[in-house]
Amino acid sequence: MEHITEILTLPIFRNSLIDWIVACAVGTALFVVLLIARGTIRRYHTILKRTEKIEWTEMPVEILSRTSVLFFLVVSLFAGLSTLSMSTGTAKVLSAAATIALFVQVGTWAGAASTLMLEHRRRRALGSDRAVASSLGIIGFLMRMAIWVVIVLLVLDNLGIDVTALIAGLGIGGIAVALASQNILSDLFASLSIIFDRPFVIGDFLILDDYMGSVEYIGVKSTRVRSLSGEQIILSNAELLKSRMRNYGRMVERRVAFTLNVTYETDSDLLERIPKEIQRIVESQKDTRFDRSHFAKYGPHSLDFETVYYVLSADYNRYMDIQQAINLSIFREFERLKVEFAYPTQKLYLNRT
């Protein structure tokens, strides 16, 4: 009861009833106005998002639309109570509370701004520089972390805490934290290595041991890969860099080698003609570069011809279309020349005695 009595004797509680009514009216009115303003901004932002063209006001409007109700409440209380007579100590407490709320809200605005700018940059980079798009997620995390570290330090400084001594103490405590979170830090450093070394970027097709798929997102701790069967594979960044990977996204052209087997009954003139016909068929296809075609060896059941050519595209579907066209053309040409394909056969000789 003594504490309650001491609180009630503070100068702020000596204001008249009219003063309190005015303070409540000011605070309530300001709170309602701020809520209406935020609602108007959000409706305007919804209208802007429906249009395909990106307006220059879209980003500021979206940032302002993320203003919190708690910030409105603190500002309204501060405005209302400021109309009352109060002691210097009470005024300092109110001012500190309003300042802390402002710092937190500024941190929210700054975090939203960094996220929106990086997302806008990522969309533009996906079509031109996928390596930049891959690093933006990690850069965004580091930016948001830096923003909130600054905000926390400002809040602590506003509360009268010696920030310099705190930073020195964190240096010692950081060693213990680092030892306790080695796995997280290893993934973090691995993500930074992916940013600077760029072994792969978003959109690259990777094969890692038994996993294969296209890179969808590179995060601080993990990388997400969309497999051919549709599911998402989550891989730790540290373990990912330790693996041996095949990056088909860096493929410029595809080397293709195939073998054709013909029967031993094929005429020698036709055997000499087959490589030239295969060369003609391969060179008739677009996006190809012929390398060689030879009568390679005598097989146990066939005469084997080996052909090598290059597809001047990394697209797997394009490669399969070309190979299919070549196979069909060869089949038609062999049919016309009366060349028979060989397959494993055995001849049985019967000796009647």
Give me the average pLDDT of each 10-residue run along the chain (353 residues): 51 70 86 88 78 68 83 86 76 81 86 77 60 63 80 78 64 50 67 77 83 84 86 86 82 91 92 94 94 93 94 89 95 93 77 68
CB 233 within 8 A of CB 213: yes
Helix (H) or strand (E) holding 292: strand 288-298
CA 348 – CA 350 distance, rounded (Å): 7
Closest CA to 74 of 49, 92, 100: 100
Instruction: Return the beta strands (E) in 121-221 as ranges.
Output: 205-208, 211-218
Closest CA to 307 of 326, 321, 325: 326
Q: Is 214 helix (H, G, I), strand (E, B) or coil?
A: strand
Helix (H) or strand (E) holding 196: helix 182-197
Check residue 41 and give its pLDDT.
Answer: 83
184-250: CATH topology: SH3 type barrels. (2.30.30)
Check residue 180 and give its pLDDT.
Answer: 47
Single-letter amino acid, residue 328: L
Check residue 54 and give its pLDDT.
Answer: 60
Check residue 126 and give its pLDDT.
Answer: 58
- Distances, alpha carbon 225 to alpha carbons 134, 190, 222, 274, in Å: 13, 16, 10, 44
CATH class of the region 254-337: alpha beta
CB 83 within 8 A of CB 26: yes
CB 200 within 8 A of CB 131: no
Q: What are the residue ranges of CATH 2.30.30.60 in the chain?
A: 184-250
Q: What are the residue ranges of CATH 3.30.70.100 in the chain?
A: 254-337
Structure tokens at 249: 């996204």
Check residue 12 and give its pLDDT.
Answer: 58
Q: Which residues contact 170 (CB under 8 A, 6 or more apart)?
A: none
Check residue 271 and give its pLDDT.
Answer: 94
